[in-house]
Amino acid sequence: MTSPAQKQETLDLSEAHLRGDEARVETLLHQYRNYLMRVVEARLDVRLRRRVDASDIVQEAQIEAMRSMQDFLENPVVPVRVWLRKLVVERLIMAQRKHLRAACRAVSKEQHTDGDAVSPVKLLQGNFGSPSRIASKRDSAGVLRRCLEELPEADREIILMHLYEGLTSQESGAALGIEPATARKRLGRAVKKLRDLLEVRNLGASSL
């Protein structure tokens, strides 16, 4: 289900596109840039952070959006934000495969720390409370990051979608091709798994 606000966003984009108003189209797409940056930064392989620029991935996705906009607008089955998210994830996957295949050895030798990745404490603080409630030391942040990495991909993805990207159940359901109610249930199960992993490592399930 698409909300009235999301329908209006699609309508605004459609009207600008039909008028051939490229400046307006670019303005409408630009409002999603910060969100798309978050999508990339949450998933960019830590080994490639010095080689792949998140802003380049977003720019490539927006160029593709301009190319494929007519197809999208003819049958907008998902909100604009979800459509753009799909494009940026596809570009990210392509970039990571290219760089990891071409320079795997060189990349694997590069030093990296927890600071190179998106901080999992920062990732979760907006929904799980202040960072001090989860961890007071840098090594605790590393434990939390590793707990997220231990989750099955589907669980990690639904957590990122909701708690980092800020997607609604309707949006995550549309992105995953499932019903909103199913998305909510999947999120609940994923959060429980994360809590259990944190409890085992003495970070405390109550922090979540």
Listing DSSP states for 74-88 in one string gives HS--S-HHHHHHHHH
How many CB atoms sit inside 10 A of residue 35's CB?
A: 16
Contact between residue 123 and residue 141 where contact means Cβ atoms under 8 Å apart: no
Nearest Cα neighbor of 84 from 130, 31, 149 is 31
pLDDT at 149: 87
Statement: 113-208 belongs to CATH 3.60.70.12: no
Nearest Cα neighbor of 6 from 81, 69, 83, 75 is 81
Residue recorded with tokens 């909510």:
184
Q: Where are the domains of the chain?
A: 1-110, 113-208
pLDDT at 119: 46
* Structure tokens belonging to residue 76: 């907008």
* Average pLDDT score, the chain: 81
pLDDT at 106: 53
Contact between residue 100 and residue 106 where contact means Cβ atoms under 8 Å apart: no
- Spatial distance between the Cα atoms of 173 and 47, rounded to a whole number of angstroms: 30
Nearest Cα neighbor of 132 from 188, 195, 203, 202 is 203
Residue recorded with tokens 């984009």:
13
Please state the length of the chain: 208
Nearest Cα neighbor of 28 from 11, 7, 8, 13 is 13
- Spatial distance between the Cα atoms of 16 and 206, rounded to a whole number of angstroms: 48
pLDDT at 49: 74
Q: How far apart are the first and last CA of the chain?
A: 29
Q: pTM score, two decimals?
A: 0.74
- Please identify every stretch of the chain with a pLDDT value under 50, giving residue numbers as ranges: 107-122, 125-135, 137, 205-207
